[in-house]
Amino acid sequence: DQQVKQNSPSLSVQEGRISILNCDYTNSMFDYFLWYKKYPAEGPTFLISISSIKDKNEDGRFTVFLNKSAKHLSLHIVPSQPGDSAVYFCAASSQGGSEKLVFGKGMKLTVNP
């Protein structure tokens, strides 16, 4: 029973363009969401997070949008750079983030020069 879903396994974009990564969740108790980036043979690295009291959080080139009614969040990367090529995981937790993280399956982003 996947509570966090990343339905697209991969995305390819041109350098300088926008990358949009999507994530859906089913558990309405989730109230804290995170994005992680993972390079091969390395552990996931925290990228950006958002609490359910917000609908947008921005950090440099990375912006996460949350649509609670649709149980959907997205990560926007603008402009995309070749170094952004990695697998991106969406994760969610409840009770303000104090509960365990539930991860999606990940999506591979390729940014072409």
Residue 72: CB minimum distance to other proteins, A: 20
- 40-63-26-51 Cα dihedral, nearest 10 degrees: 110
Q: Is 105 in the site for other proteins (CB under 8 A)?
A: yes
Spatial distance between the Cα atoms of 25 and 86, rounded to a whole number of angstroms? 22
Q: Is 110 in the site for other proteins (CB under 8 A)?
A: no
Q: Is 49 in the site for other proteins (CB under 8 A)?
A: yes
Asked if residues 72 and 64 have their Cβ atoms less than 8 Å apart, the reply is no
Spatial distance between the Cα atoms of 100 and 67, rounded to a whole number of angstroms? 21
- Of 20-28, 33-41, 68-76, 77-85, which segment contacts other proteins by CB under 8 A? 33-41
Asked if residues 49 and 34 have their Cβ atoms less than 8 Å apart, the reply is yes
Q: Which is nearer to other proteins, 43 or 83 (CB)?
A: 43
Residues that bind other proteins (CB under 8 A): 32, 34, 36, 41-46, 49, 89, 93, 96-98, 100-103, 105-106
